[in-house]
Amino acid sequence: MREIICHHYPQSPVAEKVRVALGIKQLSWRSVTIPRVPPKPDVDLLTGGYRRTPIMQIGADVYCDSLCILQALEATVPEPSLFPDGNPCWWAGRWTDTVLMDLAAAIVLGAGVENLPPEFAADRGRLYFGPNYDLHAFNRDLPHLAGQLRGHFGMMQESLGAQRFMHGERPGLRDVLCYYIVWFIRGRFAGGPELLTEFGELCAWEGRVADLGHGQSCDMSPEESLDSALGAASAAESRVDPEDPAGLEADEPVEVAPDGEGGDPPVRGDLVILTRDHIAVRRAHERVGEVVVHFPRIGYRVARPASNQ
């Protein structure tokens, strides 16, 4: 198998989700550290403009979004499975990655608003909450927001019960999903450790997940990762579902972007894959050659470019 390359930075909670999954699967991988805010010229060469963190690269295949990354990891390295009980509960991420992550981001950014570098606050405010974001309003609303999060942590702890991990004896997807929210709140919200103290079983579980580690990683320079794409061919096989309501055909030019108001730029390319859970487009640049950029279907908008409609 080609090397797994993860493009990330240490402080990213969503990257921590992927790092823990790499740990559960006991994988060896290469680590490329990317900037926390744009410009990200090397990332852009690989993704065609997708700027979020993390990104996984295997040769000339570039996986955007942690859902797509975890699905690709599970398909490429099925054992140990992210579903030790045999139930592929991908839906669980629709709780942690939307409601819970939005809440956690509002708390972390709202509580830190006076100390955040203005450029960082503006970037993340817009990205997570749209053009009308108001981090000071989150700051004023902290007691309410923390009260909400407390309820969610209660649900997490109840679901864990007396088990070692969320799925039972062995760790899996639901551990990865719940852990990165707890990790983010404990590490980046001054009131986080205090908020968590009442959840004794959850804190003990948090320690067990931390002990799983991140697999074995070895640093790679951005240049090396670009060379790796240039020297490789994508392993993606074309399949476009005629039942997809977007009504698109293989090889036609499309734009793909995260749904929502974050102002994420679209990625342009020729359609290679469109299924219920997967979008992929082919694009080329002289520095990386031909690459295929993958996205999850859920949470992403794919359409003909406005000028071609």
Ligand X SMILES: N[C@@H](CCC(=O)N[C@@H](CS)C(=O)NCC(=O)O)C(=O)O
> Rounded to the nearest 5 degrees, what angle is found at the Cα of 59, between the Cα atoms of 286 and 29?
135
Structure token digits, residue 103? 């809440």
The verdict on 53 binding ligand X (CB under 6 A) reads yes
- Sole window of 11-19, 109-117, 275-283, 300-308 interacting with ligand X (rule: CB under 6 A): 11-19
> Rounded to the nearest 5 degrees, what angle is found at the Cα of 293, between the Cα atoms of 291 and 297?
155
The verdict on 13 binding ligand X (CB under 6 A) reads yes
- Sole window of 6-14, 156-164, 230-238, 267-275 interacting with ligand X (rule: CB under 6 A): 6-14
Closest distance to ligand X from the beta carbon of 137 (Å): 20
The verdict on 96 binding ligand X (CB under 6 A) reads no
241 by Cβ neighbours in 10 Å (0-12 / 13-18 / 19+) ranks as middle
The verdict on 217 binding ligand X (CB under 6 A) reads no
Q: In terms of CB distance, is 61 or 65 closer to ligand X?
A: 65
- CB 226 within 8 Å of CB 288: yes
End-to-end CA distance of the chain, in Å? Answer: 40
Place of tokens 């080609």: 2
- Sole window of 46-54, 136-144, 189-197, 236-244 interacting with ligand X (rule: CB under 6 A): 46-54
Q: In terms of CB distance, is 53 or 234 closer to ligand X?
A: 53
The verdict on 278 binding ligand X (CB under 6 A) reads no
Burial call 114-143: b when 16+ CB within 10 Å, e when fewer:
eebeeeebebbbebbbeeebebeebbebee
- Sole window of 48-56, 160-168, 191-199, 272-280 interacting with ligand X (rule: CB under 6 A): 48-56
Closest distance to ligand X from the beta carbon of 288 (Å): 20
Structure token digits, residue 91? 């839906």
Closest distance to ligand X from the beta carbon of 8 (Å): 9
In order of 49, 74, 125, 168, 173, the CA distances from 293 in angstroms are 10, 18, 26, 35, 23
Q: Is the dihedral of CA 128, 56, 83, 275 positive or negative?
A: positive
The verdict on 281 binding ligand X (CB under 6 A) reads no
Closest distance to ligand X from the beta carbon of 78 (Å): 21
Range 284-303, binding ligand X (CB under 6 A):
none
HSE, CB side, 13 Å, CA atoms: give it for residue 207. Answer: 6
The verdict on 25 binding ligand X (CB under 6 A) reads no
Range 114-153, binding ligand X (CB under 6 A):
127
- Sole window of 59-67, 151-159, 196-204, 227-235 interacting with ligand X (rule: CB under 6 A): 59-67
Residue 282 DSSP class:
E
292 by Cβ neighbours in 10 Å (0-12 / 13-18 / 19+) ranks as buried
Q: What whole-number distance in Å separates Cα of residue 175 and Cα of residue 145?
A: 23
* Residue least distant from ligand X (Cβ): 52
Count of residues that bind ligand X according to CB under 6 A: 13
Closest distance to ligand X from the beta carbon of 77 (Å): 19
The verdict on 14 binding ligand X (CB under 6 A) reads yes
The one among 5, 12, 42, 234 contacting ligand X by CB under 6 A: 12
Place of tokens 């981001």: 105
The one among 57, 66, 96, 228 contacting ligand X by CB under 6 A: 66
Q: Which residues of this chain interact with ligand X, rule CB under 6 A?
A: 12-14, 36-37, 51-53, 65-67, 97, 127
